[in-house]
Amino acid sequence: MARLNVTEVHKRLGGNQILRGTSFTLEEGEIVALLGPSGSGKTTLLRAVAGLDHPDAGRIVLDDEVLYDGSAGIVVPAEKRSLGLVFQSYALWPHKTVFENVAYGLKLRKVPRNEIADRVAAVLGQIGLTGMADRHPHQLSGGQQQRVALSRAIVYNPRLILLDEPLSNLDAKLREEARVWLRGLIQQLRISAIMVTHDQSEALAIADRILLLDKGRIEQEATPVEIYERPKTLFAAEFMGANNRFSGQVAELKGERCRVSGDGWELWGRMRGDRKVGDRAEAIVRLEKTFLAEGPGENRISAKLEAALYLGERWDCVFQASSLRLRLWSPAAPADRPHWIHVPEGSLLVF
């Protein structure tokens, strides 16, 4: 296992500042997800650690080895960093067998032939590909190709494994199964790992810690539970989960309690920002914490059902309440009549 320190890394591409002094630490045996929208800098940060891109400034240290130091002019080439890489496209050679794909890195390192055979067989067995060594990539499913790419990355016992959107090429059902399998494998191998993803569910399921990036900066760094339940900023709150958003004005403050009002509605919530009475405010509540109620009451809004979409395990319902358009999930299709929507005070976050 390895410990990684990334300090004040900057990177500009053309006229765009992609990374703006990004810093984080990866502890031994930890899985960290780099999460964020397109253009947030997550892939550039991963490539900087891998040595595929060179930052403009900063410092990257793996254990006691300096991989990059802008001020000292130190740049260790990618092939000498002893890192395992799994690309989004898997990057398998179509003309080579599974064995040849996995063994390639060992041959480059001039590992003896007998040892190569033993190590490839061991990793294929470990990853669930026993009996497939002679197949070519086109003879494998997407999930099996992903495992081959992962096998190639771990066969030479790297200090750190880097995964760039490793599950994005799988269909939805297989992707859900692969989350459990991938996290379990990384833990079993006792490897430190960094994973780039734009899929929040993937990050929540696999990572020990999430770095949420926006415009080259880390917006929030936290455990999956903390970043979902206690977002620090409006961006973090909106990016995670499916939400309803209320744009209004702070009408009353009582400690952390905050009453926000808008056109024909008012709701109590928890203040997460720095606002005073009269200020504009944005309030966020997760869809799964928005409910249908039997009648009027505090933190309830009268609304008319606009649409109900059947998703199998639930109905995705859309309501109109004056200028508000609200969604919630219901186990059954609501009747076509006026409804009351309840927003629990403890679940409404005000920024």
Tens-place pLDDT, residues 12-71: 998 899 999 999 999 999 999 999 999 999 999 999 999 999 999 999 999 999 999 999
Q: What is the pTM of this model?
A: 0.89
Quote the mean pLDDT of the chain: 94
Output the DSSP codes for 289-312. Answer: G-EEESS--TTEEEEEEEEEEE-S
Strand order in the sheet with 65-69: 16-26, 4-13, 57-62, 65-69, 74-75
User: In terms of Cα–Cα distance, which of 41, 35, 34, 53 is closest to 17?
Assistant: 41
Gap between the Cα atoms of 210 and 16, Å rounded: 25
- ∠ CA 116-121-127, nearest 5°, is 125
The pLDDT value given to residue 6: 98
Q: What is the DSSP letter of 333?
A: P
- Structural domains in the chain? 4-234 (3.40.50.300), 242-350 (2.40.50.140)
- pLDDT tens per residue, range 303-334: 999 999 999 999 999 999 988 999 999 999 99
Supply the pLDDT for residue 171. Answer: 84
Q: What is the pLDDT of residues 216-271, one digit of tens each?
A: 999 999 999 999 999 999 999 999 999 999 999 999 999 999 999 999 899 999 99
- Residue whose token pair is 């300096």: 66
pLDDT tens per residue, range 78-135? 989 989 999 888 889 999 999 999 999 899 888 999 999 999 999 999 888 999 999 9
Q: Report the SS3 class of residue 239.
A: helix
Q: Is the pLDDT of residue 1 over 70?
A: no
Decide: 346 and 338 in contact? Cβ < 8 Å: no
CA 227/CA 220 separation, integer angstroms: 7
Report the distance separating Cα 98 and Cα 94, nearest Å. 9
Residue with tokens 């009351």: 340
Handedness of CA 67, 69, 72, 78 (dihedral sign): positive
| First CA to last CA distance, the chain | 40
| Best CA proximity match to 9, nearest among 90, 65, 75, 94 | 75
Structure tokens belonging to residue 346: 């403890």
Q: What angle do CA 242, 204, 208 make, to 5 degrees?
A: 155
pLDDT band at 75 (very low <50, low <70, confident <90, very high): very high
CA quadruple 179, 181, 183, 184: dihedral, nearest 10: 150
Distance CA 219, CA 231 (A): 10
Q: How far apart are CA 224 and CA 211, in angstroms?
A: 10
Say whether 301 sits in a helix, a strand or coil: strand
Helix (H, G, I), strand (E, B) or coil at 287: helix
Structure tokens at 282: 């944005």
Contact 90, 169 (CB under 8 A): yes
* Residue 163 burial by Cβ neighbours in a 10 Å radius (0-12, 13-18, 19+): buried
Q: Please report the pLDDT score of residue 22 as a whole number.
A: 97
pLDDT category at 168 given cuts 50, 70, 90 is confident
Sign of the CA dihedral with 260 first, then 266, 268, and 270 last: negative
Q: How far is CA 252 from CA 234, 248, 259, in A?
A: 20, 12, 5
